[in-house]
Amino acid sequence: MTSVILAAGLGSRYGGLKQIDPVGRHGEFIIDYSVYDSIRAGFDKIVFIIKEENLESFEETIGSRIKGNVKIEYAFQNSLDLPDGFSCPADRVKPWGTAHALRACRNIVDDKFIIFNADDFYGRETFENMFKCLSDVNSKLFAMPGYTLANTLSENGHVARGVCVTENDMITNIREIKKIMRIDGVTKYETENGEWADIDENSPVSMNFWGFTPDIFQYVDTGFANFLRNPKTDLIKDEYYIPNVIDEGVKANAFDCKVIHTPAKWMGVTYRTDKPDFEKFLNDKIDAGEYPENLWG
């Protein structure tokens, strides 16, 4: 089975791949730990979705460290890569979103796979649980690890999350909320009109970690084409996300998506000020023997 990593945004967020801040004791990035956890969970191929112009820098940093440990392939997210009959507006600067990034590996991935963010730390248990879960996944059933919203917030600013409504551990609704944060001790989200409203911090949320079969690509193509032809879509700035694909699919009864609940606390470096807490979290795991001090030896 394959582990697909959404890494096309790394260069833009960090000002170049070579400037990614190391978090491990031997210069490891967060993505290194996800690759390591993927391999020991049983995934035998890694596909990195990146920008083609970042290939050399990516291979020099991340690729060179893991080469020889697992089969590696690259897929390139290109804003010009659109369904037949569509073209990219000349003024479009933003990427088309995570569903478009997922679509970029449609000609490379031909078996069951997981897909997740390069700059989030999910932990060993999440990868192991999803590997086991994929054995039961079929063309009409996908899966995602469900985190509790309260366990995924940053103390240093707002975060984006896919907030789910479930029934019998199946998603009935999911929406991408771009700004969620605690304000005066209360968890709130920013509405479309710019106001802040309360949100239940016990809600299950997606951390953009999914378990799919290759059948997902047909739903992505159909949904993305509908997104592009929708007159309400702003073709200059709007993006199409994986949660959009899931929400549309479950509502149309095209497939189901199972939530694998996890009590884990999400860790990441959304903001520079998150880094000290993350490094302490990681060092505690290294000291406890969960990870080797030198990840790649």
Instruction: Summarize the confidence of residues 219-228 as an average pLDDT.
Output: 96
- Residue 130 inside a domain? The answer is yes
Q: Mention every residue, 6+ apart, whose C-beta is less than 8 A from residue 143.
A: 130, 133, 134, 137, 210, 211, 257, 258, 259, 260
Boundaries of domain holding 158: 2-287
14: confidence class by pLDDT, cuts 50, 70, 90: low
- Residues 198-221 have pLDDT tens digits of 999 999 999 999 999 999 999 999
- Residue 292 inside a domain? The answer is no
Higher pLDDT, 271 or 94: 94
| 132, containing H or E segment | helix 124-134
Cα 204 to chain centroid distance, Å, stands at: 16
- Residue 162 inside a domain? The answer is yes
- Residue 293 inside a domain? The answer is no
Please tell me the pTM assigned to this model: 0.90
Q: Mention every residue, 6+ apart, whose C-beta is less than 8 A from residue 237.
A: 94
- Residue 236 inside a domain? The answer is yes
pLDDT at position 157, please? 85
Number of domains present in the structure of the chain: 1
Q: Side chain identity at 85, as an amino acid letter?
A: G
- Residues 135-174 have pLDDT tens digits of 888 878 999 999 999 988 888 788 888 899 999 999 999 9
- Residue 295 inside a domain? The answer is no
Mean pLDDT of the chain: 90
Q: What is the CATH number of the domain that holds 153?
A: 3.90.550.10
